[in-house]
Amino acid sequence: MNCILQAVQHRIELAAGQAGRDASQITLLAVSKTVSAARVRELALQGQRNFGENYVQEALDKIASLQDLPLIWHFIGPIQRNKTTAIATQFDWVHSVDRFVVAQRLSEARPLARGLLNVCVQVNLDAESSKSGVSPAALPELAEQIARLPNLRLRGLMTIPRASLAWSQQRAPFAALRKQLEALRQQFEILQAGRTDLHDANVQLDTLSMGMSADLEAAIMEGSTCVRIGSALFGKRI
């Protein structure tokens, strides 16, 4: 698996070079859903630190069995309300927040000893009914609501666009998400300048979680800071 990890890292480095970016500023998030704890351990021992999970119970079992390793766990799947306590307690990042009620429950359940929970808002750019995510129109209000929650740190945005093989079609949604993040930054600059209730908001809008095995190059060209890679590392899921 060492050669496989190096191959993905090389793809990231090449894409970053073509974009005039520093590859060290792009996080490789290994999507380990349905992958055994043994295979996660194998990749971790090669230096991989960030792992993404979609299913809570499966993730909890892995986290428990791999607690001897200094791993950073990201939850990237749809969030059920009855799973928020487990997610808030065990994960370092959540990429898939798309409702205020979920964000509120995550904040309430986050143990103070663990520090702030890093969250990204999932944006459904194409209004696909099969995918989670807030609409671009509703994003500014949701982001402002999340910024007021005491135990979360709003880090940025995530999206899962329609699959496409065409380079221009791959780049378009990623460019759209980057523009959404730029607009949010401007929004908070204005709000924090004029609103005392947001002066101390936990907002650090530095993350674009976008790009997967088939389109990571397009995502990096449009500013991705975190690519979520599953099949290129672990093979196709059965």
Q: Would you say residue 197 has pLDDT above 80?
A: no
Question: What does the pLDDT average to over 10-26?
Answer: 98
Question: What does the pLDDT average to over 23-39?
Answer: 97
Q: What are the φ/ψ torsions at residue 5 (nearest 5 degrees)?
A: -60, -45
Q: Would you say residue 238 has pLDDT above 70?
A: no
Per the listing, tokens 């992958």 go with 35
Report all structural domains of the chain as residue ranges with CATH numbers, in order of start: 2-234 (3.20.20.10)
pLDDT of 237 reads 72
In contact, 155 and 122? CB cutoff 8 Å: no
Distance CA(8)–CA(162), nearest Å, equals 22
Amino acid letter for position 30: A
Q: Would you say residue 119 has pLDDT above 80?
A: yes
pLDDT of 139 reads 97
